[in-house]
Amino acid sequence: MVFFSKHYTEAGVAVQLQAVIDDALKDITGPPVILCIGSDRHVLDCFGPLTGSMLNQAGISVPVYGDLDHPLHASNIPRELRLIQEAHHDRFEIAIDASVGTEVEIGTIKVRRGPVLPAKAVGKRLPAVGELAITGVVGVRQNQRTARPITYGSLAHVYHMAYLVSQALIHWDATRCGNKWS
């Protein structure tokens, strides 16, 4: 169930996104792991890695996997996910990934309980990732029979969504998390 769905240009979206993330994470009992999924080689699929880079540059106090230098993508996610889960057994996972939707949804940030299904938009079957899904709609859903990568679109949408999501998580880390897990 999606409990947040707002275009990044809507008035007040930053504060609303922060409140939703604060509420979604209020009952976790240990530090989460943030998994930022996507590719650094496809502009529209870099939403996750760009968000991960922003989080790492800010020095967030919880582990962040997947950034522009070391992305979690279709080729490495089964292996990397296994290693991450071994290193952070039983941690709450926040998954961040690009998604597709309708043309009017492009630029929409969505938050919901449950996993993301990486590479679903291009017809691949990869392991489900996360317990809280944060997605950014970057392109238009294609016909599943002819699923192919989306090769056009605006980096501006991706950047602004990544910035808002990273700022909301940085805010959560500073106000709710801080040194709580030490």
Residue 155 has pLDDT above 70, yes or no: yes
Instruction: Fill in the amino acid letter for 155.
Output: L
- Residue 84 counted as domain residue: yes
> Does the global pTM surpass 0.85?
yes
- Residue 113 counted as domain residue: yes
- Residue 32 counted as domain residue: yes
Question: Domain range for residue 16?
Answer: 2-177
Give the number of other CB atoms < 10 A from CB of residue 147: 16
- Cβ-contact 104, 136 below 8 angstroms: no
- pLDDT, mean of residues 5-12: 96
- Residue 182 counted as domain residue: no
Residue 171 has pLDDT above 80, yes or no: yes
pLDDT, residue 48, reads: 97
**52: pLDDT confidence band, cut at 50, 70 and 90?**
very high
**144: pLDDT confidence band, cut at 50, 70 and 90?**
low
How many structural domains is the chain composed of?
A: 1
- Residue 161 counted as domain residue: yes
- Residue 48 counted as domain residue: yes
Instruction: Fill in the amino acid letter for 104.
Output: V
- Cβ-contact 136, 98 below 8 angstroms: yes
Residue 175 has pLDDT above 90, yes or no: no
Q: What is the CATH number of the domain that holds 159?
A: 3.40.50.1450
